[in-house]
């Protein structure tokens, strides 16, 4: 069978260079140009890596035109609707869903590892009370490397999985502690009797000693629908191929840095409003719009090329169709509104924005559909979670993806230190 190739010709010199086309199991083919510089003396120029595949991966697949997202070959809708976040974590780390016994043991291990070293807890005293939880969280994760400074033997599966399980279990505790420190209130320790998502909500909401506020009816202040909603958000955030923060994690991994330092770098990258911080911006903008009767005017501002106003939560770098995660969250948002009796002004404004944008040719023709950030901001607000914690919640969900990508990179014998080149235009 003849090998598929592409021939590039330099019209200045007449030299030609032939490169192999690599077949993907799903999605686009890839042109292998690893020897292009040595062949031609030139570099390729691709700002933002819009046409560059920097690695080979078996973790996550995205088809932006079809609006498709799969973890380890399983469609995101099936995972979000039929499996828990911890099942998704096991899938990403082990390339298969767990058996009932494996899930039970994995859940128990995550619960037991959620506690923090007392020395690490003292770190929070060094930060001001009003520090943003993302700043505190990033620093705390870096400090984990000083408590667990072991060399990871990538030939030993037990070693790297223990490292992965530890960071997955401790991130929710660190995030909850960062939040409570920002308010100047006592920490609530993890509860070994609670599952992953309920435990996080409890550490966020409970009074010291783990006691929850009781409603008039005597029910705890965390409802099953809230746990289900947040667990789904964690699943939808678990991984998303080679996005900006994942690229940072792999880049830091390429230097040989500690895995927790790589994760901390990913957290810092995620904080940007063009990445994980976008859901904060969505709610801030909805609050700025203020009322349903002002939505149309702001939509017109967004369409005006001479106006700097941009509608947050619409469009996506990869998806040129409806973001599949957004479809799932739209249904979840409607369920929350019905089951919790929510119909706040913010939800009404968001619903009006969505209604106009989805029927307006300006947005439809430009593939500017609501993305995951549009709905997560609304849902997290409905769950009584403050804006400052939106991105830390993204971190909790994405940690398993980052650490799985780190493992894959370290096990790849062809991996090299990241070192892009440049087009120099200075003097």
pLDDT digits (tens, 9 = 90+) for 231-280: 999 999 999 999 999 999 999 999 999 999 999 999 999 998 878 877 88
The residue assigned the tokens 């810092």 is 268
CB 106 within 8 A of CB 415: no
Indicate whether 151 and 18 sit together in one domain: no
pLDDT at 210: 67
Indicate whether 290 and 409 sit together in one domain: yes
pLDDT at 377: 86
Indicate whether 12 and 154 sit together in one domain: no
pLDDT at 20: 95
pLDDT at 217 over 60: no
b/e map of 100-138 (b: 16 or more CB within 10 Å)? eeebeebbebbbebbebeeebbebbeebeeebbbbbbbb
pLDDT at 48 over 50: yes
CB 381 within 8 A of CB 374: no
Q: Give 87-109 pLDDT, tens digit per residue.
A: 999 999 999 999 999 999 999 99
How many Cα atoms sit within 13 Å of 261 on the Cβ side?
Answer: 14
Average pLDDT value for the chain: 90
- Candidate from 170-184, 208-222, 352-366, 396-410 with smallest mean pLDDT: 208-222
Domain enclosing residue 203, as ranges: 46-427
pLDDT confidence band for 318 (50 / 70 / 90): confident
H-helix or E-strand spanning residue 391: helix 390-411
pLDDT confidence band for 218 (50 / 70 / 90): very low
* Number of domains forming the structure of the chain: 2
**Annotation marks residue 316 as catalytic:** yes
Indicate whether 39 and 161 sit together in one domain: no
CATH code for position 67:
1.10.580.10
Indicate whether 189 and 271 sit together in one domain: yes
pLDDT at 341 over 50: yes
Indicate whether 140 and 253 sit together in one domain: yes
Q: Give 160-195 pLDDT, tens digit per residue.
A: 999 999 999 999 999 999 999 999 999 999 999 999
Indicate whether 279 and 213 sit together in one domain: yes
pLDDT at 208: 77
Which residues have CB under 8 Å from 134's CB, separation 6+?
178, 267, 271, 277, 388, 391, 392, 395
Among residues of the chain, what percentage have pLDDT more than 90? 64
pLDDT at 351: 86
pLDDT confidence band for 213 (50 / 70 / 90): low
Please give the structure tokens belonging to residue 275. Answer: 């990445």
**Annotation marks residue 373 as catalytic:** yes
pLDDT at 220: 58
Indicate whether 204 and 134 sit together in one domain: yes
pLDDT at 426 over 80: yes
Among residues of the chain, what percentage have pLDDT more than 70? 97
Indicate whether 201 and 260 sit together in one domain: yes
Indicate whether 23 and 89 sit together in one domain: no
Indicate whether 93 and 236 sit together in one domain: yes
Catalytic pick among 107, 231, 323, 373? 373
Average pLDDT rounded to a whole number, residues 301-305: 89
Catalytic pick among 316, 343, 361, 412? 316
pLDDT confidence band for 1 (50 / 70 / 90): very low
Indicate whether 21 and 90 sit together in one domain: no
Please give the structure tokens belonging to residue 123. Answer: 């770190």
pTM of the model: 0.91
pLDDT at 392 over 70: yes
CATH code for position 25:
2.20.28.60
pLDDT confidence band for 332 (50 / 70 / 90): confident
pLDDT at 193: 95
Length of the chain: 427
pLDDT confidence band for 2 (50 / 70 / 90): low
pLDDT confidence band for 339 (50 / 70 / 90): confident
pLDDT at 366 over 90: no
The residue assigned the tokens 């609530």 is 188
Q: Give 113-171 pLDDT, tens digit per residue.
A: 999 999 999 999 999 988 999 999 999 999 999 999 877 888 889 999 999 999 999 99
């Amino acid at each position: 069978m003849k090998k598929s190739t592409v021939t590039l010709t330099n019209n200045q010199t007449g030299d030609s260079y032939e490169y192999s086309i690599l077949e993907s199991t799903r999605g686009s083919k890839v042109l292998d140009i690893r020897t292009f510089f040595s062949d031609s003396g030139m570099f390729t120029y691709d700002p933002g890596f819009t046409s560059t595949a920097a690695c080979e991966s078996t973790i996550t697949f995205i088809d932006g035109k079809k609006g498709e997202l799969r973890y380890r070959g399983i469609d995101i809708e099936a995972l979000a609707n039929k499996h828990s976040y911890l099942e998704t974590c096991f899938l990403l780390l082990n390339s298969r869903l767990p058996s009932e016994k494996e899930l039970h043991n994995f859940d128990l291990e995550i619960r037991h590892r959620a506690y923090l070293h007392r020395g690490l807890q003292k770190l929070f005293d060094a930060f001001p009370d009003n520090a943003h939880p993302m700043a505190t969280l990033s620093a705390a994760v870096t400090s984990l490397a000083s408590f667990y400074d072991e060399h990871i033997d990538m030939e030993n599966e037990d070693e790297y999985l223990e490292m992965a399980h530890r960071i997955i279990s401790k991130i929710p505790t660190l995030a909850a502690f960062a939040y409570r420190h920002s308010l100047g209130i006592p920490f609530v320790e993890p509860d070994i009797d609670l599952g992953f998502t309920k435990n996080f909500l409890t550490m966020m909401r409970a009074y010291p000693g783990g006691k929850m506020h009781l409603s008039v009816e005597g029910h705890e202040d965390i409802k099953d629908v809230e746990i289900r909603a947040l667990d789904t958000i964690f699943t939808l955030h678990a991984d998303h191929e080679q996005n900006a923060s994942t690229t940072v994690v792999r880049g830091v991994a390429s230097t040989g840095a500690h895995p927790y330092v790589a994760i901390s770098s990913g957290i810092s990258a995620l904080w940007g409003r063009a990445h994980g911080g976008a859901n904060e911006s969505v709610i801030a903008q909805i609050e700025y719009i203020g009322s349903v009767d002002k939505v149309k005017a702001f939509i017109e501002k967004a369409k005006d090329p001479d106006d700097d106003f941009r509608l947050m939560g619409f469009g996506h770098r990869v998806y040129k169709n409806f973001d599949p995660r957004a479809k799932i969250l739209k249904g979840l948002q409607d369920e929350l509104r019905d089951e919790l009796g929510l119909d706040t002004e913010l939800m009404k404004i968001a619903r009006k924005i969505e209604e106009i944008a989805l029927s307006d040719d300006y947005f439809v023709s430009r593939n500017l559909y609501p993305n995951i950030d549009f709905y997560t901001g609304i849902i997290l607000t409905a769950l009584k979670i403050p804006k400052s914690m939106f991105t830390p919640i993204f971190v909790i969900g994405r940690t398993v993806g980052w650490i799985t990508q780190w493992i894959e990179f370290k096990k790849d014998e062809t991996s090299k230190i990241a070192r892009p080149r440049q087009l120099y235009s200075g003097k």
